Amino acid sequence: MLLHNKTAIIYGAGGSIGSTLAKAFANAGARVFLTGRHLSSVKKVADEIVAGRGEAYATEVDAMEETAIHNHMDMVIAETGSVDISFNVIDLQVVQGMPLTDMAMADFVRPVNIAMQAQFLTATAAAKVMMKQGSGVILTLTATPGGIGYPGTAGFAPACSAIECFSRNLASEIGAYGVRAVNIRSGGSPDSAVFKNAIENHPEVMKDVLRQMEADSMLKKLPLMADIANAAVFLASDMAGKITGVTVDITCGTTAGLNYRTPAIAGNE
């Protein structure tokens, strides 16, 4: 298994993408330490992993609180002796779908503030441990607005750009110690909780939204959460040991061009 004997910490593991990542890491052989602001949601995921014969532990940790992060990190090291993977996928509390000129400043800056504080605290805590070990990888996750101008994405777009910049700069500083930092850019997964809730509440609107998002991509489809998780498992493994300081694009080609101008092939729509 690609992550056999690896120790992974996932922040925001109770959410749809966090739980998918946790299960994928566990299936690949990792010991997964799941954290979130609400113990019930992360414990549910941990119990499912254990029921499937994986190794998982759940702890209530606020990824915005430095002391809580370091206390949890110390506990993980005491239990396993190392931290090999750190992945922060907490909710950024985004308000979007409106022009920037109609937004309240608080709604615009909130996701940027959350992203930078949480990523800085969790990534630097992991980096300090990994630098002493001489190995490890810090993964981050963004989306299409991190790579192109994307109307209506409000504070989410600069938050994505900030995370990608932070990951690059961190990689440039920790690489000499044998530690990697890699960002994954998703195109938005229609099977994630955010999309499922939107589809349930606004089915007709979301049908058009998803159709347009698919049309914007080169592959005429969107990446599922499993696609993101599979890439994360690879990037966290020794097979990706020479990959660092970059954003790996899993948007089905959305950020590479104006792909809506290329129609889907008949019979393959």
Q: What is the pLDDT of residue 197?
A: 86
Cβ contact 222:188 at 8 Å: yes
7-189+223-255: what fold? Rossmann fold (3.40.50)
Residue range 84-96, pLDDT digits in tens = 999 999 999 999 8
Residue 257: pLDDT band (50, 70, 90) is confident
Residue 144 pLDDT > 90, yes or no? yes
- Res 164: pLDDT: 98
pLDDT band, very low/low/confident/very high, at 268 (cuts 50, 70, 90): low
Higher pLDDT, 30 or 216: 30
Q: Pick the residue with more confidence: 193 or 61?
A: 61
- Mean pLDDT in residue range 63-77: 98
Res 262: pLDDT: 65
pLDDT at position 168, please?
Answer: 98
The predicted model gives 17-21 an average pLDDT of: 97
Instruction: Give the pLDDT of residue 260.
Output: 65
pLDDT at 212: 87
- In the chain, where are the structural domains located? 7-189+223-255
Q: What's the whole-number average pLDDT of the chain?
A: 94
Q: Could you give the CA distance from residue 76 to residue 11 in angstroms, rounded to a whole number? A: 13
Q: What percent of the chain has pLDDT over 70?
A: 96
- With bands split at pLDDT 50, 70 and 90, how would you rate the model's confidence at 128? very high
Q: CB-based contacts of 155: which residues, under 8 Å, 6+ apart?
A: 94, 95, 96, 103, 107, 108, 109, 110, 111, 112
Residue that the structure tokens 């001489």 belong to: 134
Q: With a cut of 70, say whether residue 152 has pLDDT above it.
A: yes
**Mean pLDDT score, 27-42:** 97
